[in-house]
C-alpha cells in the first residue's frame, strides 16, 4: 500500500503529522525514528517525514538508519528532523541562546532561492498541485514573490541550524534570523524549522500537501473501506481457523473490534467476554448483550462480578486505592472467567487498541511492547503473555478515534453506538466520590441516565443534539449532603455535579456552555425523578487545571 512514513523522535506533535497526511487521503504510518529501514519497512513508501523531538542531535536525540539518505525517497525534516538531516550530512546545529516557542514570523528570502536548473526539477513537483489552484503559497515560498513575503509559523525549538549541510540552500529565514525553510539542490530533500502540522501554523497544511501530493506524488486513494479490507485480509491470514478471545468494555473501540472480528472470521471461533463490574451505566449490560447478539456473536460470556467489585471497594475512599483495587480485581476475575472457557491452547487475544494509545506517551510506537491500552487490562498478565507469544490481534492499532467511528459505521454499527461518549475503565467508581456502595451507584446511575437522555433529546442552536456536540458528559455523586425542602418537610439530599466538556482527544477539555434554560430544566428533571438528590451543580472547570473525571 502506498504510504508516507513518519519517523517519530518523541515530539508531542508527531501524531498530528500522521493525522494531517491521512486527512489528505494518504495512508501514513508513524514508526520509531531509529527503526531499521528494511525492504519490508520501505514497501509502498513514497516519502519519509522526520518529526520533531525534545532531544538534541548532539545530545540524546535518536539517530536514523543511514538508509534514508540512500534509498532515493523524498525527505521532509521538521524541526529536529531538519537538524538530524543537517547534522548527518555535514552541517552544524547549535543551541539557541533563548528557546523559540509559539508564533514566529518566517520571511521569504527576497531573491529566488533557485539559481540552478536541477533543483527546479525537484522543487517543481512540490508545487504543481498548488499551481493548479488559486492559492499558490508554496510557489511563492520558493520564488520569493512579493505577494508572499512572510507568514506566521509555529515553532518550538531550542536548537537551530547554523551551517547548512552541503548541497542545501535556504528559502526562508525566521524573523529571528535562523534558517526556516531549506532544500537540497539536487535531491528531493526539504527541511523546515517550524511545525507545519500544528493548526496555528499558516500554510502548514499546504506545505505538507505540497510534499505528500506534490513531491511524493501520492494518489489520495486511502480511505476507511480500504483500511478495513486490509485489516480483514490480515486477520484472516493470522487467525483463520483459530479461536479468538475479545474482552468487551461496551465502549466504541472494543465494539468496533468485535464487529470486525465477527464479520471477518468464523463466528464460532470468536469468544466475547464482558465483565459487568456493577459499576456500569444504566442499561449498559443489556445494550451490550443485545448489540453483540445482533452482530452474530455465538460465544458471549456476560460475567456478573458486581459482588466481587463492590465487596473489594467497601470502606475504601482514596481515589488511587479504589483504582488499584479495581485494576487488580479485574485481572483476577478475567483469569478466573477465561479459565472456564473452552478455548484452544494457542488462542489469540484481540484488543481494541487505537493508534493514539500507542503514540500518546510521546515515546513513539517503538515502545509498543510496553504500552498497553490504559484500560482495565493495563499490565494484564494475559495481554503480556499473548503479546510475547505473538498471539495478540490489534486490528485498529493504526486508527485514530474518529477513524474508528467511521470504521464502525462501515461495519454497520448504529450512530448511537459509534458516537458513544468515552467511559473510564473503573466506571462509576470514579464518579461516586469517596466510598462506593450499591445504593450510591443506583442513585448516580438514575441521575446520569436522565442527564444523558436529556442531552440526546435537546437540540443545540446548530440543530445537532446536545449529546453529539459534547465530547463527554456524565454525573458525579459527591460525598456530601445538603439541606433542602421536599413538599412540607426538610430533606437532606445528596449533591450531584454535572460535567459536560468539549474536546478532541480528552487531553485538554473545555466546559460545554449550556444555554441556561437547558441546564436549569435538566437539574429540575433530575431532582424531580431522583428523590435522594437534593441539589445539582454544574462543574465549570476546564482541563487543565481540572481533569475530566473527578477521581
Instruction: Compute the least distance from the CB of residue 253 to ligand XMP, in Å.
Output: 9
Q: Is 420 in the site for ligand XMP (CB under 6 A)?
A: no
Stretch that binds ligand XMP, among 25-33, 282-290, 352-360, 418-426 (CB under 6 A): 418-426
**Given the complex with ligand XMP, which of 85 and 349 has the nearer CB atom?**
349
- Report DSSP letters for 140-152, one per residue: HHHHT-GGGSEEE
What is the DSSP secondary structure assignment for residue 6, as one 8-state letter? Answer: E
- 122: annotated active-site residue: no
- 216: annotated active-site residue: no
Q: Map residues 469-508 to x or -, x wherever contact with ligand XMP holds by CB under 6 A.
A: ---x---------------------------------x--
Stretch that binds ligand XMP, among 61-69, 226-234, 417-425, 440-448 (CB under 6 A): 417-425
Pairing between strand 244-248 and 270-276? parallel
Dihedrals phi, psi of 212, to nearest 5 degrees: -70, -45
Return the residue of 250, 424, 493, 534 that touches ligand XMP, per CB under 6 A: 424
d(CA 551, CA 546): 10
Return the residue of 5, 76, 207, 548 that touches ligand XMP, per CB under 6 A: 548
Of the candidates 191, 47, 174, 168, the one whose C-alpha atom is nearest the C-alpha of residue 114 is 168
Please report where in the chains the cell 466504541 appears, as a residue: 252
The x, y and z cell numbers of residue 287, run together, are 445494550
Q: Is 527 in the site for ligand XMP (CB under 6 A)?
A: no
Region 290-309 residues binding ligand XMP, contact defined as CB under 6 A: none
d(CA 176, CA 179): 9
**Given the complex with ligand XMP, which of 264 and 285 has the nearer CB atom?**
285
**Given the complex with ligand XMP, which of 32 and 327 has the nearer CB atom?**
327
Region 373-402 residues binding ligand XMP, contact defined as CB under 6 A: 374-375
Return the residue of 425, 440, 475, 499 that touches ligand XMP, per CB under 6 A: 425
H-helix or E-strand spanning residue 369: none
Of the candidates 385, 15, 403, 74, the one whose C-alpha atom is nearest the C-alpha of residue 227 is 403
d(CA 257, CA 470): 24
Stretch that binds ligand XMP, among 85-93, 120-128, 342-350, 423-431 (CB under 6 A): 423-431
Cα 265 → chain centroid: 27
**Given the complex with ligand XMP, which of 114 and 329 has the nearer CB atom?**
329
What is the DSSP secondary structure assignment for residue 509, as one 8-state letter? Answer: B
The x, y and z cell numbers of residue 444, run together, are 448516580
In three-state secondary structure terms, 93 is strand
Please report where in the chains the cell 520564488 appears, as a residue: 143
Stretch that binds ligand XMP, among 141-149, 190-198, 364-372, 420-428 (CB under 6 A): 420-428
Catalytic sites, residue numbers = 79, 195, 197
Binding site for ligand XMP (CB under 6 A): 374-375, 422, 424-426, 472, 506, 543, 547-549
Amino acid at each position: 500500500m502506498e504510504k508516507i512514513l513518519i519517523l517519530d523522535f518523541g515530539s508531542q506533535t508527531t501524531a498530528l503529522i500522521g493525522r494531517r497526511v491521512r486527512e489528505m487521503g494518504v495512508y501514513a504510518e508513524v514508526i520509531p525514528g531509529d527503526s531499521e529501514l528494511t525492504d519490508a519497512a520501505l514497501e509502498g513508501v513514497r516519502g519519509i517525514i522526520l518529526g520533531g523531538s525534545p532531544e538534541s542531535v548532539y545530545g540524546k536525540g535518536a539517530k536514523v538508519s543511514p538508509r534514508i539518505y540512500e534509498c532515493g525517497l523524498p525527505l521532509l525534516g521538521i524541526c529536529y528532523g531538519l537538524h538530524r538531516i543537517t547534522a548527518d550530512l555535514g552541517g552544524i546545529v547549535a543551541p539557541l541562546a533563548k528557546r523559540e516557542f509559539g508564533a514566529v514570523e518566517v520571511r521569504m528570502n527576497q531573491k529566488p532561492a533557485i539559481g540552478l536548473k536541477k533543483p527546479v526539477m525537484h522543487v517543481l513537483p512540490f508545487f504543481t498541485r498548488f499551481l493548479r489552484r488559486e492559492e499558490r503559497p508554496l510557489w511563492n515560498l520558493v520564488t520569493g514573490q512579493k505577494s508572499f513575503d512572510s507568514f506566521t509559523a509555529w515553532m518550538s525549538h531550542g536548537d537551530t541550524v547554523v551551517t547548512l549541510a552541503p548541497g542545501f540552500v535556504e528559502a526562508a529565514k525566521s524573523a529571528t534570523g535562523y534558517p526556516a525553510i531549506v532544500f537540497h539542490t539536487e535531491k528531493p530533500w526539504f527541511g523546515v524549522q517550524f511545525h507545519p502540522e500544528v493548526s496555528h501554523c499558516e500554510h502548514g497544511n499546504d506545505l505538507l500537501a505540497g510534499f505528500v501530493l506534490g513531491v511524493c506524488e501520492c494518489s489520495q486513494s486511502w480511505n476507511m473501506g480500504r483500511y478495513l479490507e486490509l485489516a480483514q485480509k490480515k486477520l484472516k491470514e493470522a487467525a483463520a481457523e483459530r479461536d479468538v478471545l475479545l474482552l468487551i468494555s461496551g465502549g466504541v473501540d472494543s465494539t468496533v473490534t468485535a464487529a470486525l472480528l465477527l464479520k471477518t472470521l468464523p463466528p464460532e471461533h470468536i469468544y466475547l467476554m464482558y465483565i459487568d463490574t456493577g459499576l456500569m451505566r444504566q442499561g449498559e449490560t443489556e445494550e451490550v448483550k443485545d448489540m453483540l447478539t445482533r452482530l452474530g456473536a455465538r460465544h458471549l460470556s456476560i460475567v456478573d462480578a458486581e459482588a466481587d467489585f463492590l465487596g473489594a471497594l467497601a470502606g475504601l475512599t482514596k481515589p488511587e486505592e479504589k483504582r488499584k483495587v479495581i485494576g487488580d480485581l479485574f485481572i483476577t476475575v478475567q483469569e478466573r472467567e477465561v479459565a472456564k472457557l473452552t478455548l484452544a491452547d494457542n488462542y489469540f487475544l484481540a484488543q481494541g487498541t487505537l493508534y493514539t494509545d500507542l503514540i500518546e506517551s510521546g515515546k513513539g510506537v517503538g515502545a509498543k511492547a510496553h504500552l498497553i491500552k490504559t484500560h482495565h487490562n493495563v499490565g494484564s498478565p494475559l495481554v503480556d503473555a499473548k503479546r510475547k507469544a505473538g498471539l495478540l490481534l490489534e486490528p485498529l492499532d493504526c486508527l485514530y478515534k474518529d477513524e474508528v467511528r467511521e470504521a464502525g459505521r462501515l461495519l454497520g454499527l448504529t450512530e448511537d453506538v459509534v458516537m458513544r461518549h468515552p467511559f473510564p475503565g473503573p466506571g462509576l467508581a470514579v464518579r461516586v466520590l469517596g466510598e462506593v456502595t450499591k445504593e450510591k451507584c443506583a442513585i448516580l446511575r438514575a441521575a446520569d441516565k436522565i442527564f444523558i437522555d436529556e442531552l440526546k433529546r435537546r437540540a443545540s442552536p446548530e440543530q445537532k443534539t446536545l449529546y453529539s456536540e459534547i465530547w463527554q458528559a456524565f454525573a458525579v455523586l459527591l460525598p456530601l449532603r445538603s439541606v433542602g425542602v421536599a413538599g412540607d418537610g426538610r430533606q437532606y439530599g445528596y449533591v450531584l455535579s454535572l460535567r459536560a466538556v468539549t474536546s478532541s482527544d480528552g487531553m485538554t477539555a473545555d466546559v460545554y456552555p449550556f444555554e441556561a434554560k437547558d441546564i436549569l430544566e435538566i437539574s429540575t428533571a433530575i431532582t424531580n425523578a431522583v428523590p435522594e438528590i437534593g441539589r445539582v451543580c454544574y462543574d465549570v472547570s476546564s482541563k487543565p487545571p481540572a481533569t475530566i473525571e473527578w477521581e
